[in-house]
Amino acid sequence: DVKVTQSSRYLVKRTGEKVFLECVQDMDHENMFWYRQDPGLGLRLIYFSYDVKMKEKGDIPEGYSVSREKKERFSLILESASTNQTSMYLCASSLLGTDYGYTFGSGTRLTVV
Amino acid sequence: QKEVEQDPGPLSVPEGAIVSLNCTYSNSAFQYFMWYRQYSRKGPELLMYTYSSGNKEDGRFTAQVDKSSKYISLFIRDSQPSDSATYLCATTPYGNKLVFGAGTILRVKS
């Protein structure tokens, strides 16, 4: 069964901490995405990557960075966590050239206190 | 104006009812339309996929796209408590990036 695995289901971090969220996919997908999901706002794209070491900003990149050193792994970094970054974070992947069929991970619920 | 508008609900229906979930979109160039289902504390999963206008049926689910009115719908027949979830519509305006609606929370009561 193909999978996108997010390393943590729940995280609690303190304001100002540097936070790493990890995502691994086993489908050899080129595209990987990081979204955050908030009630009433839906899914908002933070960053995405079409290839190793490639990254592009999404709609809300401020306060975040990403790293993609290997094809299967896409990391989201909160440089200095703030309370307004408390959210559900979802990683997804897809094949290059397809306009459908994102596979999502189960999400990481991050609380910043 | 958001590219995809979706009523967040919640929508509460009795078991066995026909459910209609709807989205509107702004860009007439959108070609691919999807519905994702998201159970509580899980990631979204692809439920239905349609290209351009028309209907697509899969069991109790029917996805419908009306490009003339920029309206997409998901119908669920004989709804079950296991259908209780958040339903997200999505479309691709460009490249490989999906744009999602806010999601509609559906509750099917037994």
pLDDT tens per residue, range B7-44 = 888 999 999 999 999 999 998 888 889 999 999 989 99
**Which tokens is B41 given?**
């504390």
Q: Residue B97 and residue B87: Cα distance in Å, rounded?
A: 19
pLDDT over 90 (residue B92): no
What integer pLDDT is reported at residue A41 of this predicted model?
85
In a 10 Å sphere around its CB, with 0-12 CB exposed, 13-18 middle and 19+ buried, how is residue A109 labelled? middle
Contact A28, A96 (CB under 8 A): no
What integer pLDDT is reported at residue A53 of this predicted model?
87
Q: Per residue of chain A (113 residues), give pLDDT as tens.
A: 669 999 899 999 999 999 999 999 998 899 999 999 998 888 999 999 999 989 999 999 999 999 999 999 999 999 999 999 999 999 999 887 666 678 999 999 999 99
Interface of B with A (CB under 8 A): 6, 8, 31-32, 34, 36, 41-46, 49, 88, 92, 96-98, 100-103
What integer pLDDT is reported at residue A88 of this predicted model?
96
Q: How many CB pairs below 8 A link A and B?
A: 54
Contact B96 A50 (CB under 8 A): yes
What integer pLDDT is reported at residue B54 of this predicted model?
85
The candidate with the shortest Cα–Cα distance to B50, out of B82, B73, B76, is B73
CA A29-A104-B93 angle, to 5 degrees, is: 75
Question: How far is the alpha carbon of A23 from chain B, nearest alpha carbon, in Å?
Answer: 13
What integer pLDDT is reported at residue A61 of this predicted model?
97
pLDDT tens per residue, range B69-90 = 999 999 999 999 999 999 999 9
Beta bridge partners of B34: B49, B90
What integer pLDDT is reported at residue A74 of this predicted model?
97
Which residues in chain A touch residue B103, judged by CB atoms under 8 angstroms apart?
42-43
